[in-house]
Structure formats: C-alpha cells, structure tokens
Amino acid sequence: MKTTGNTILITGGGSGIGRGLAEAFHALGNHVIVAGRRKEVLDETTAANPGMTSLTLDIHDPADIRSFAANVATRYPALNVLINNAGIMRVEKLQAQQDDLADAEAIIATNLLGPIRLIAAFLPLLQKQPRSTIMNVSSGLAFVPMAQTPTYCATKAAIHSYTQSLRHQLRASTTEVLELIPPYVATDLMGGASDPRAMPLDKFISEVMEILKTQLTAVEICVERVKPIRFAAESGHYDAVFDGLNRQ
C-alpha cells in the first residue's frame, strides 16, 4: 500500500486502533476522513489533528450507508482508501441469552454486515481511481476464538474469509485488498486500555505502519505479537493457544 498522497476513510476512526491509524496516516500528509456514530469522539479527534475530517455514520443502517457513500463520493471524489475498522465486542453467555439475540445481532451488523455494505457502496468509486486499497480489520481471534465472545470471534473469522474472496475477485483490478490482524491491543474494547497484558496502542500502530511502508507485497498485516495466534493451526499449537486464551 502506498502510504502517502491518499484520501483515506476510516470507520471507527474516533478511538482506539481507528484513531491510531488515522493519526499515523494524517502525519504522513494523507487526507484522512474518520467516520463513526459518536460525534463527540470524532470531534475530539479532528480537533487534535487539524486538517482531518469527520463524518457521522450509523453502520447498522443500510440506508445511511448508501447515503453516506453518495455524500462522500460527491465531496471527496479522489477517495482511494477504505479502512473498515469499526467493531464492537461483547461477552455472551450462550446458555442465558436474550430471546431476541440483541447482542449477537448488533455484533454481526457492525462487524460483518457493516464492512460488506460499505465495500459494496464504495467499490464503484474506488475502482475509478488509478490505484486504490481496501483494508479490512479482523483480529487474531478470527483464528483462535476466545469463547466468552463467540459472535465477535465468528464475525472476525468471517471477515478473514470474505477478505480472501474479495481479494481474489479483484485480483485483475487496480484495487488491492489487505487484512489487518491485530493482537490484543490496549484500547477501550473490552476494557483493554489499562490491561498490562495488551500490546500498547502506540507500539502496535508504529509496527503496522512500518510493515505497510516496507513490506509492499504483504496482504496480511501481522505484527510479531499476533503471529502465534494467527498461525496457531499451521504451527501445530492450536489446542495449546486455545487453552491459554480460554483458561478459567
């Protein structure tokens, strides 16, 4: 991925990994647009980064996604990078779920249907550009699940699979498809911001940007800390990694 001279849209860009990526790309001179549902968080991000743009988006709402994409295409016709980062993670007790499965459905709508709908909405614009990039953010938990967050892990596994298919279908086009696979990072997701076991956010972002700058053919962006879980099955350590993640 070319890391300069882009117009970049990042969902969930007001906090956590999304904000970290937004600020790193902004520092390289890209025009960065952060999108999300929480206007106050977006405003804090743009206030701290003059020149960055924010737009509200309800990623649960298919009609809002379509109108959002049309608005972006009109205002920012040079958009050439879409980073699908928005996500939610909730503990689910499968033997005591709500009858309406509200948590599971919200996670699927945000983590899986949201990126699928955004890609469908933005692909025509991206394919008009000389070069463009779609980056989907999955998780190490796509490869070895943490059992207390089953739907989150399932959506990230689905994003991994969907990204592979998308990459194959676009292989002859000028749109590259990348997958960013974070480990456990110190963000507000599931209270990880203060957990000493989590990878510090600044170190994660720094390593990601270095990979993007130097490993130009990489389609999976894996920092060193995520590799044991990403390649647990290939290395023959799946059961041990699963037990380590899910030890009570």
Neighbour order of strands in the sheet with 53-56? 53-56, 31-36, 7-11, 81-84, 132-137, 175-180, 220-221
Contacts (Cβ under 8 Å, ≥6 apart) of 33? 7, 8, 9, 10, 13, 52, 53, 54, 55, 72, 76, 79
Mark whether 152 is an active-site residue: yes
Determine phi and psi for 136, rounding to 5 degrees.
-100, 130
The position carrying tokens 């041990």 is 240
Say which DSSP state 113 is in.
I
Contacts (Cβ under 8 Å, ≥6 apart) of 19? 13, 34, 45
Determine phi and psi for 221, rounding to 5 degrees.
-95, 105
Type of residue found at 206? S
Of 152, 162, 184, 238, the active-site residue reads 152
Give the count of beta carbons closer than 10 Å to the beta carbon of residue 230.
23
Q: DSSP 3-state assignment of 248?
A: coil
Beta-bridge partner residues of 56 = 36
Catalytic residues: 152
